[in-house]
Amino acid sequence: MADKEMQEFVKPLMKSFGGLQQLTLLLAQKGMADPEEAGAAASEYLRFFGLVAVGWMWARMAKVALEKQGDDETGFYADKLDLARFYMKKVLPETAALGLSIQAGKKPIMAMADAAF
């Protein structure tokens, strides 16, 4: 299997992983100065992390499917590749919006009055 075949799975994953690394550093810096910053981003950060982790698993499954697709009489591995493509193109890009939300910081949350809840 050529690395070229894996590019459609690896490129989006590496882009999201790079974003995860940057956000981790940002949250570590902001969170040391103000714990509310980390708390305000916690849900979005965990979702971002989860999307990247599942993307990594789909990339691994795609690698196996590419290696075994020649012996695939049932279409199982072809289906795995289609699902991996779907994840990389339709689900993993959600990390972009999560990243923007995380970067917004605590102000949009903390500016609301307690009575608003």
Neighbours of 46 (CB within 10 A): 11
Q: What confidence score (pLDDT) does residue 47 get?
A: 98
Q: DSSP secondary-structure letter at 103? A: H
Amino acid in position 30: K
The confidence band for 1, taking pLDDT boundaries of 50, 70 and 90, is very low
Question: What is this structure's pTM?
Answer: 0.90
Question: Residue 17 and residue 48: Cα distance in Å, rounded?
Answer: 9
Q: Would you say residue 2 has pLDDT above 80?
A: no
